[in-house]
Structure 1
Amino acid sequence: MTASSRAQSFDVAAAQYAASRPSYPAELFDSVEEFADRRLAGARVADVGAGTGIASALLRERGAEVIAVEPGEAMAGEFRRALPGVPIVRGDGNALPLTAASRDLITYAQSWQWTDPGRSVPEALRVLRAGGALAVWWNTTAFDVPWIRDQHARIAHHCGVEPRSAVRPSDGDAVRLAGLTGLRVARRHIRWSRTVPLDTHLANIGSRSAFLVLGEAARRAFLVDERARLGGLFPREEVEESYVVDLLVALRP
């Protein structure tokens, strides 16, 4: 299964994605402002791979002037329903449908991995104004929480993918893996959590690309087993999900 196929898979579960995916903590946006050396209020921001608008909504709440870029038709439809006042254009990070030197900040929330940095980095630099910044981040696995670590291993095994290492890459390796070598990059890890109903937690799992490319029977089998397993751990069916946001902010030369 190609990365492109996995990236396109989100369209089949756009409503599920919108209803169950986690948001981001305020500290993340404080850090973006710190590293970019400018306030989000009044900043012209492009949120690329915007999906259903989770990050775009938070950027707008901070006073940013947001335009969203999203390749998926169904995801863009959910975005428009959630944020009717925010402009959204169809496209992706490898060929941004935006004017040169038109943005102060470009953000990628959970979406940088679907780009080709050999194309997306030059595109970001083209669209950014002098002194602008590129911010990419992910909600990553809190491996120090035993049940989350164990669940991560079960998901990887069921979906036939390589489980991520519990050891996070060094700052230098993270910059290299993201394709941002040669730029001035700052990095920060931000821990946060949310408590959600068990059904929401399972829907969140089921909205991941590794699951969406599986057949319906394979998806259902895992989620039935996982409900039984987690029901024993969380008898009140309220699940505390812990995350570590991995943030990279690159400054335009």
Structure 2
Amino acid sequence: MTAGSRAHSFNLAAAQYDASRPSYPPALFDFIEECASRPLAGIRVADVGAGTGIASTLLRQRGADVIAVEPGEAMATAFQRALPGVPIVRGDGNALPLADSSHDLITYAQSWQWTDTPRSVPEALRVLRPGGALAIWWNTTAFDVPWIRAQHERIAHHCGVPPRSAVRPDDSEAVRLAGLAGLRVARRHIRWQRTVPLDTHLANISSRSAFLVLDQTTNRAFLAEERTRLREAFPDETVEETYVVDLLVAARP
């Protein structure tokens, strides 16, 4: 299964993705402002791989002037329903449909792994204004919470992938980004929680790309087993999820 197939699998579950995926904590945007040395209010932001608009909504709430870039038709349609006043263009991070030196901030919320870094980094630098910044982040698994770690390992086994907190930039990528055009790279891990109904928790699991490309009969059996396990841990069917946002901000002079 190619990365492109997995990336476009989200179009099969756009409504489910929109309803169940976790958002992001205010501290994430505080750190971006700190690294960028300016508030988000009034700056031009390109939210790449915007999906259904989870990050774009929060950027708008901070007063940013947002344009979304999204390759998937169904995801773009859901975005337009959620944020009818925000422009959205079809494209991806490897070939941004944006003018040179046109934006102060480019964000990739859960979407950087779908890009080809040798192409996406130069594209980001092309579109960024002097003093602009590139922000990349993921909600990752809180491995220190026993039930979350155990569930993550079951999901990884079901999907045939190695258990890990997330696909995210490693130290070598941070160093390489820093070496391009004198970028100043900062990184932070931000822990946060949300409480959701059990159904929302399970819907979030089944909206993941590695899950979406599998046989749906097998997936339903797996989710039924997870429901039984979680009812034992959460008899009121309210699940407290813990996340650690892995955030990397690369600012150019």
Tell me the residue number matched to 1:172.
Answer: 171
What residue is the counterpart of 1:89 in the other structure?
A: 89
Give yes or no for contact 1:11–1:72 (8 Å, CA) kept in 2: yes
Deviation at 1:251, TM superposition (A): 1.2
Instruction: Give distance in 1, aligned partners of 2:21 and 2:170.
Output: 27
**Mapped contact 2:140–2:165 kept (Cα < 8 A):** no
Going from structure 1 to structure 2, the CA distance change for 1:170 and 1:107 (only over 3 Å counts) comes to: closer
The one-letter code sitting in structure 2 at the alignment partner of 1:215 is: D
Between the aligned partners of 1:198 and 1:115, the Cα distance in structure 2 is: 32
**In the alignment, does 2:8 pair up with 1:8?**
yes
Match of residue 63 from structure 2: 63
Q: Does 1:202 align with 2:199?
A: no
Which region of structure 1 is more displaced relative to structure 2, 114-123 or 156-165?
156-165
Kindly provide the CA deviation profile for residues 28-80 of structure 1, in whole angstroms up to 9, marking residues without a partner as x. Answer: 10000001111100010000000000000000000000000000000000000
Shift of 1:195: 0.2
In structure 2, the residue matched to 1:47 is 47
- Aligned sequence identity (%): 77
Distance change >3 Å, CA 144–CA 173, structure 1 → 2 = farther
SS of the counterpart of 2:140? strand
- State how far apart, in whole Å, the 1-side matches of 2:10 and 2:174 are: 26
- CA shift for structure 1 position 250: 0.4
Could you tell me how far apart the structure 1 residues matched to 2:37 and 2:196 are?
34
Residue 133 of structure 1 corresponds to which residue in structure 2?
A: 133
* Structure-2 separation of matches of 1:40 and 1:170: 24
**May I ask how many residue pairs the two structures share in their alignment?**
250
Output the CA distance in 2 between the equivalents of 1:229 and 1:16. Answer: 22
Structure 2 Cα separation of the partners of residues 96 and 84 of structure 1: 21
Give the 3-state SS of the residue equivalent to 1:180 in structure 2: helix
Residue aligning to 2:35: 35
Structure 2 portions without partners, runs of 5+: none
Q: Which residue of 2 aligns with 1:75?
A: 75
CA distance in 2, matches of 1:169, 1:199: 27
> What is the one-letter code of the residue matched to 1:196?
V
Change beyond 3 A, Cα 1:128–1:243:
same
* TM superposition score normalised by structure 2: 0.95
The whole-number CA distance in structure 2 between the counterparts of 1:238 and 1:41 is 35
RMSD: 1.7
What is the distance in 1 between the residues matched to 2:66 and 2:12? Answer: 25
Following superposition, the deviation at residue 192 of structure 1 comes to 0.3
Equivalent AA in structure 2 for residue 172 of structure 1: D
The answer (yes or no) to whether the contact 2:113–2:168 under 8 Å persists in 1 is no
Deviations 1:152-195 (A, max 9, x none): 100000110111169x999734625xx62513210000000000
Deviations 1:128-160 (A, max 9, x none): 000100000000000000000000100000110
* 1:137-216 matches, cutoff 5 A: 137-164=137-164, 172-173=171-172, 175=174, 180-182=177-179, 183-216=183-216
